[in-house]
Structure 1
Amino acid sequence: MKSLFETESARSIIERLDLLDNNSQALWGKMDVGQMLKHCQGPLNIALQKQVVVTQLSFFKRLMMKLYKPFLYNNTPWKHDLPTIEEFRVTTPQSFTTEREHLEQLIAEFSEKTDVKTWPNHPLFGYFTPEQWGKMQYKHLDHHLSQFGV
């Protein structure tokens, strides 16, 4: 599994972002390209402690999150149209250029932190190792870039 901490993997994500334009169409899902770019910033902001998510989960949902957690960073592709938490839902129009620039900055900032040994707990999934954080971030971005055919 690729990781956003790998220089070549981070570079490939940026190259794929550069293939998008304001008219890129999703192959599935409800977000347009600007909304997707904004959405993809959420998990990076969480890891970089730039956003706080306070979501109350029932016992059943916490159990489901524990069962689903390994799929976030393993080699199994994510399914289409997975649910997302309210804080990461983007339904309003977004500036394609602005959101792509912000996402590229966050990717660069995150991918440079290869020597960080302790990351914050994820608000829904709890503890991730640095390796799992890198793989999860790569996999999330890969999923959404595939959503837009790049």
Structure 2
Amino acid sequence: MKNIFEKSVTDQIIHRIEKLTPETQPLWGTMSVEKMLAHCNIAYEMVYEEGKHKKPNLFVKFILKSFVKNKVVSENPFPKNGQTAPQFIIKDKRTFEIEKKRLIEYLQKTQELGENYFDNKESHSFGKLSKKEWNNMFYKHLDHHLSQFNV
């Protein structure tokens, strides 16, 4: 798996994002391009915007760690048309340029902070993750959705 914390990899992801237009259509699924960008931003909001998303209670966190975590942080790709967590579903209208700009800024911030910042950092839903698990989660999710939109 590519390392999202390396500048060259971050630059490749940003280049793919910049190929998107408001008219870009998905190869699978029902999300519009602006909702996909907003959906991808949620993972970063959970890291950088304390209090924006409600943290799961202990029981839900136990369930997430036991049954979901490995699917999210492993190197195995996400399946097409897979189920997503409710907090990642975008129901309201979004603006393409705003969501695109936000995602690029989150990527740049993540790369600049570097993998050591994330090593053993507490995640919103899964407890402490290694830098490899953070990388897998960030990169795999972005790669999945950018591939969904054929970029």
TM-score range, shorter chain: 0.7 to 0.9
Letter in 1 for 2:86: E
Residue 107 (structure 1) shift: 0.7
Shift of the alpha carbon at 1:130? 1.9
Structure 1: how far apart are the matches of 2:35 and 2:139? 18
For structure 2, the residue ranges without an aligned partner over 5 or more in a row are: none
* Aligned equivalents of 1:64, 1:136: Cα separation in 2: 14
Query: More displaced, 126-135 or 8-17?
Result: 126-135
Identity of aligned residues (%): 30
1:45 aligned partner: 45
- Partner SS for 2:107: helix
Deviation, 1:63, is 4.2
Residues 63 and 88 (structure 1), Cα distance of their counterparts in 2 relative to 1, 3 Å cut: closer
**Greater helix proportion:** 2
> Any idea what the Cα deviations from partners look like across 1:69-125, whole Å, max 9, x if unmatched?
233233321101222222221022211111100110011111111131555422322
Tell me how far apart the structure 2 counterparts of residues 74 and 118 of structure 1 sit (CA, whole Å).
Answer: 15
Matches of 1:117 and 1:40, distance apart in 2: 18
Match of 1:132 in 2: 133
Whole-angstrom CA distance in 2 between matches of 1:86 and 1:40:
13
Name the structure 2 match of 1:146: 147
- Structure 2 CA distance for aligned equivalents of residues 48 and 87 of structure 1: 16
Please tell me whether the aligned partners of residues 31 and 91 of structure 1 are also in contact (alpha carbons under 8 angstroms): no
Aligned-partner residue type, residue 112 of structure 1: E
CA-CA distance at 1:27 after TM superposition:
1.3
SS at match of 1:116: helix
User: TM-score normalised to the size of structure 1?
Assistant: 0.86
Question: Runs of 5+ in structure 1 lacking a partner?
Answer: none
* RMSD of Structure 2 on Structure 1 (CA): 2.2
Matched, 1:54 2:86: no
**TM-score normalised by length of structure 2:** 0.85
- Contact 1:65–1:124 (CA under 8 A) maintained in structure 2: yes
Distance 1:145 1:57, change over 3 A: farther
Distance 1:64 1:131 in 2: 19
Measure, in 2, the Cα distance between the counterparts of 1:52 and 1:118. 22
The equivalent residue for 1:5 is 5
Q: Could you say which residue in structure 1 is the equivalent of 2:124?
A: 123
Equivalenced residues, count? 149
Alpha-carbon distance in 1 for matches of 2:76, 2:118? 25
After TM superposition, give the deviation of residue 8 of structure 1 in Å: 1.5
